[in-house]
Amino acid sequence: MVTTSLKSFIKSVKSSKTIADERSIIQRESALIRTAFKDTHVSHQTRRINIQKLLYLYILGEKTHFGQIECIKLLASPNFVDKRLGYLATMLILDENQEVLTLLTNSLNNDMNHPNQFIVSLALTTLGNICSPALARDLYTDVEKVISGNNNYLKKKAALVAAKIVEKDPDLAEIFEPKVNNLLDCTDHGVLLGALKLVRSLYEVSPDSRSFLVSKIPKVIDILKGLAKDLNPEYAVSGVADPFLQVSLVETLRLIFIDEEHQAQSHKFNEQLHDVLTSITSYANISSSSSSQAKGSSASVLHETVKTIFSIPNLDPALKVLGINTLGQLLSTKDNNNRYVALNTFLTVVDIEPLAVQRHRATIVSCLKDQDISIKRRALELTFSILDSSNIRILIKEILSFLENPVNNDRELKTYIITNVTNILGHKELIPNEKWKFDTIAKLCYLGGDCFSSTIVSQILALVMNIPNNDELKKYIINKLFKEAYTDSSKDGLNNIAVYLAGEYGDLLLGTSLEDGEKITDTLLADFLVGLSHLQNDDPVLVSFILASAVKLSTHVQDSSARSKLKNYIKSKTTSDNLGIQIKATTYLVLFDEPDNIKRGVLDRMPPPVITQKDTVSLTNRAKHNMLSQGDVDKRRGSLSKTEDLLLDLMDDDTIPADTQNINATDLLGDIFGSSGPSTATPPKSSSAKNDILDLFGGNADKPIQSFPTGGIEAFHNDVVRVCFLPKSIGDGQAIIETIIANKTAHQIEGLQLLIAVPKTQKLTMTSISNPVIPPNSFATQDLKIVGNAGSKIKLRVKFTYNSQGVASTEQFDFGQITETL
Partner 1 sequence: MGLQYLISMNRQGKVRLAKWYQNYTHDEKYRINVDVHKLISSREHRQHSNFVELQDSKLVYKRYAGLFFIASIDLEDDELAYLSAIHLLVEVLDQHFENVCELDLVFNFYKVYECLDEIFLGGELQETSKEVILNRFDEIEALE
- Interaction residues for partner 1, span 333-352 (CB under 8 A): 336-341, 344, 348
d(CA 246, CA 252): 10
Choose between 128 and 759: whose C-beta lies nearer to partner 1: 128
Choose between 383 and 533: whose C-beta lies nearer to partner 1: 383
In terms of Cα–Cα distance, which of 230, 136, 142, 166 is closest to 192?
Answer: 230
Side chain identity, residue 518: E
**In whole angstroms, how close is the CB of 280 to partner 1 at the nearest point?**
14
Choose between 237 and 754: whose C-beta lies nearer to partner 1: 237
Choose between 280 and 786: whose C-beta lies nearer to partner 1: 280
Q: Is residue 164 a contact partner of residue 131, using CB atoms and an 8 Å limit?
A: yes
Choose between 230 and 811: whose C-beta lies nearer to partner 1: 230
d(CA 381, CA 400): 14
Segment (H or E) for 130: none
Choose between 90 and 762: whose C-beta lies nearer to partner 1: 90
Q: How far is CA 113 from the centre of its chain?
A: 46
Footprint on residues 777-796 left by partner 1 (CB under 8 A): none
d(CA 496, CA 544): 10
**In whole angstroms, how close is the CB of 241 to partner 1 at the nearest point?**
11
For the chain, how long is the longest CA-to-CA vector? Answer: 101
151 DSSP assignment:
-
Side chain identity, residue 320: K
**Residue in 30, 52, 252, 804 binding partner 1, rule: CB under 8 A:** 52
15 lines the binding site for partner 1 (CB under 8 A): no
Choose between 344 and 817: whose C-beta lies nearer to partner 1: 344
Footprint on residues 154-173 left by partner 1 (CB under 8 A): 156-157, 160-161, 163-164
In the shown chain, the binding pattern of residues 229 to 248 toward partner 1, with x for contact by CB under 8 A and - for none, equals -----xx-x----xxxx-xx
Choose between 292 and 487: whose C-beta lies nearer to partner 1: 292
Choose between 91 and 352: whose C-beta lies nearer to partner 1: 91
**Residue in 47, 179, 200, 795 binding partner 1, rule: CB under 8 A:** 200
* Long-range contacts, 288-296 (Cβ 8 Å, 24+): 288/329, 290/238, 290/239, 291/238, 292/335, 293/237, 293/238, 294/237, 294/238, 294/239, 294/240, 295/333, 295/335, 295/338, 296/337, 296/338
Q: Is residue 472 a contact partner of residue 573, using CB atoms and an 8 Å limit?
A: no
Helix 392-404 and helix 411-425: axis angle, to 10°?
A: 150
Choose between 195 and 357: whose C-beta lies nearer to partner 1: 195
d(CA 260, CA 145): 34
In the shown chain, the binding pattern of residues 354 to 383 toward partner 1, with x for contact by CB under 8 A and - for none, equals -----------------xxxxx-x------
Choose between 296 and 678: whose C-beta lies nearer to partner 1: 296
153 lines the binding site for partner 1 (CB under 8 A): yes
Footprint on residues 752-771 left by partner 1 (CB under 8 A): none
**In whole angstroms, how close is the CB of 563 to partner 1 at the nearest point?**
53
**Phi/psi at 767 (nearest 5 deg)?**
-80, 170
d(CA 317, CA 769): 43
**In whole angstroms, how close is the CB of 644 to partner 1 at the nearest point?**
12
* Interface with partner 1: number of residues (CB under 8 A): 76
**In whole angstroms, how close is the CB of 780 to partner 1 at the nearest point?**
40
**Residue in 26, 49, 55, 319 binding partner 1, rule: CB under 8 A:** 55
**In whole angstroms, how close is the CB of 362 to partner 1 at the nearest point?**
20
**In whole angstroms, how close is the CB of 335 to partner 1 at the nearest point?**
8
* DSSP secondary structure string for all residues of 779-795: EEEEEEEEE--TTPPP-
**In whole angstroms, how close is the CB of 96 to partner 1 at the nearest point?**
6
In the shown chain, the binding pattern of residues 627 to 656 toward partner 1, with x for contact by CB under 8 A and - for none, equals --x---------------------------
Segment (H or E) for 362: helix 361-367
Footprint on residues 378-417 left by partner 1 (CB under 8 A): none
- Cα-trace Rg, the chain: 33
d(CA 55, CA 253): 40
**Residue in 626, 676, 770, 803 binding partner 1, rule: CB under 8 A:** 626
Footprint on residues 701-720 left by partner 1 (CB under 8 A): none
**In whole angstroms, how close is the CB of 168 to partner 1 at the nearest point?**
11
d(CA 299, CA 329): 11
Choose between 92 and 430: whose C-beta lies nearer to partner 1: 92
d(CA 665, CA 580): 21
Q: How far is CA 149 from CA 119, 156, 159, 185, 187, in A?
A: 15, 11, 11, 13, 15
Choose between 9 and 569: whose C-beta lies nearer to partner 1: 9
SS3 state of residue 754:
strand
Choose between 325 and 626: whose C-beta lies nearer to partner 1: 626
**In whole angstroms, how close is the CB of 204 to partner 1 at the nearest point?**
9
**In whole angstroms, how close is the CB of 595 to partner 1 at the nearest point?**
59
Residue 476 has a CB neighbour count (10 Å cut-off) of 17
Footprint on residues 670-699 left by partner 1 (CB under 8 A): none
Footprint on residues 566-625 left by partner 1 (CB under 8 A): 620-622, 625
Footprint on residues 82-141 left by partner 1 (CB under 8 A): 84-85, 88, 91-92, 95-97, 118, 124-125, 128-129, 131
**Residue in 194, 449, 506, 670 binding partner 1, rule: CB under 8 A:** 194
* DSSP secondary structure string for all residues of 713-749: EEEEE-SSEEEEEEEEEEETTEEEEEEEEEE-SSS-E
Choose between 156 and 552: whose C-beta lies nearer to partner 1: 156
In terms of Cα–Cα distance, which of 461, 793, 449 is closest to 605?
Answer: 461
59 lines the binding site for partner 1 (CB under 8 A): yes
Choose between 233 and 517: whose C-beta lies nearer to partner 1: 233
Footprint on residues 276-305 left by partner 1 (CB under 8 A): 296-297, 299-300, 303-304
Q: Is residue 203 a contact partner of residue 631, using CB atoms and an 8 Å limit?
A: yes
**In whole angstroms, how close is the CB of 20 to partner 1 at the nearest point?**
16
Q: Is residue 646 a contact partner of residue 627, using CB atoms and an 8 Å limit?
A: no
